[in-house]
Structure 1
């Protein structure tokens, strides 16, 4: 239990308090017999203000919101669970991912999670760029079984609203997971009627918004994740250029 507590405390900051802290307490209480308030305090002693700390907060936020999306259609899909597990291993390595997944399975079983309260706490403590990255991952989970159904889209849209992610940004990230004739335009947040100059301006704006450097504070594992969004913006721009013969 000691190693688990050290992992928990060293990686978390704001998520050890508030509504998320309560959910964590419930999860850990179910995971570790005899877990007490004193264990939470020991975890706080290991807490720091490094990148690891911020990465840990993002990690728990991701786990909690992922559990909400996975349950959106009323069933737990094994491919979605595998997507979360594999993605965490890729980002954090085997040991850290295993610790995280122990909590994740409890989160899924807990029906008392308040999406609004959790999202509000996340919104108040994570940057806009970090929240956009959360949204991108949630769509990745929804798409991992081959399609994004309406219940999942509505759940992610609700979460986006709580996170103060506007409609344009929501539609931009959503379009990255759909193959349609207007996806490239949606990703760049413009209409098909946009002029070539408006296209260039939109591209520069989206490059700035989705640039991986905006997630440097979370650590290299999340910078790599942000690169996927960045590539989608570049791909969309190149696609429209080709269509227009630019």
Structure 2
């Protein structure tokens, strides 16, 4: 496009020398413009995390939570192994777990760096499911220690998860009074109408279709979390006779 414009413009104003100069200048601009498009495309592609990169970063966050209390709990290791086998199949899970063992035992990983990488390449809904998965690991031995809870909360901050979303996910694993209300992010004093509105909002927010990812582990986590939201609403319905 620029080549044609500058060629005609150069010829019109200067004549034959302008035609040649315009052709050269227009060609250069077209090349730069085309290159810019290609560069932008490459940059956009780089913002998409590959499955292998995603799995490695997921495993790295797992290792941080597992080592949070200073020991590597076998129940938590079994939880990760069984979860990955049921999600990815035995062969792929074994290959992933070999990498996982290397991460847990040998590498020092940086939560801020990993989370910054994921923040640039994943949707918010996917990061919520990452948090849900980490809570599941910490709870694999039947209880979440203060050290594990503190570390997950720290990771949630790095992942830019809103406090109310963090409290909602935590309520699915750390049982306390009014858990169902915490999951739906409403107060026990809320009206029936407000509870229904909150439930519809949570359905839109946490529906598995909102979690755009190729990773089956995260998709599975989204389905589990969605069931928790439904169960919380059903519990409130029964308590209130709605």
TM-score bracket relative to the smaller structure: 0.7 to 0.9
Deviation at 1:178, TM superposition (A): 2.8
Deviation at 1:240, TM superposition (A): 0.7
Alpha-carbon RMSD: 1.8
Check conservation: 1:91, 1:222, Cα contact below 8 A.
no
SS at match of 2:211: helix
Distance in 1 of aligned mates of 2:178 and 2:227: 17
Number of the residue aligned with 1:3: none
Number of the residue aligned with 1:33: none
Alignment of structure 1 residues 56-205 onto 2, 5 Å: 56-110=52-106, 112-205=108-201
Change in 2 beyond 3 A, CA 1:141/1:59: same
Q: Which moved more, 1:77-86 or 1:58-67?
A: 58-67
Check conservation: 1:72, 1:151, Cα contact below 8 A.
yes
Q: Which moved more, 1:148-157 or 1:178-187?
A: 178-187
Q: Which moved more, 1:153-162 or 1:111-120?
A: 111-120
Deviation at 1:158, TM superposition (A): 0.2
Distance in 2 of aligned mates of 1:193 and 1:132: 27
Question: Looking at both structures, which has the greater relative contact order when contacts are Cα pairs under 8 Å and sequence separation is at least 6?
Answer: 1
- Where structure 2 has 5 or more consecutive residues not aligned to the other structure, the ranges are 1-44
Check conservation: 2:68, 2:151, Cα contact below 8 A.
yes
Deviation at 1:54, TM superposition (A): 4.5
SS at match of 1:178: coil
Select the residue among 214, 233, 238 that pairs with 2:229. 233
Number of the residue aligned with 1:34: none
Deviation at 1:111, TM superposition (A): 5.1
Distance in 1 of aligned mates of 2:139 and 2:159: 21
Q: Does residue 1:208 correspond to 2:204, yes or no?
A: yes
Distance in 2 of aligned mates of 1:213 and 1:172: 19
Q: TM-score, normalised by structure 1?
A: 0.75
Change in 2 beyond 3 A, CA 1:244/1:126: same
Change in 2 beyond 3 A, CA 1:207/1:131: same
What do residues 74-110 of structure 1 show as CA deviations (whole Å, max 9, x unaligned)? 0000000000011011111111111111111111123
Deviation at 1:69, TM superposition (A): 0.1
- Count of residue correspondences: 196
Number of the residue aligned with 2:14: none
Q: TM-score, normalised by structure 2?
A: 0.76
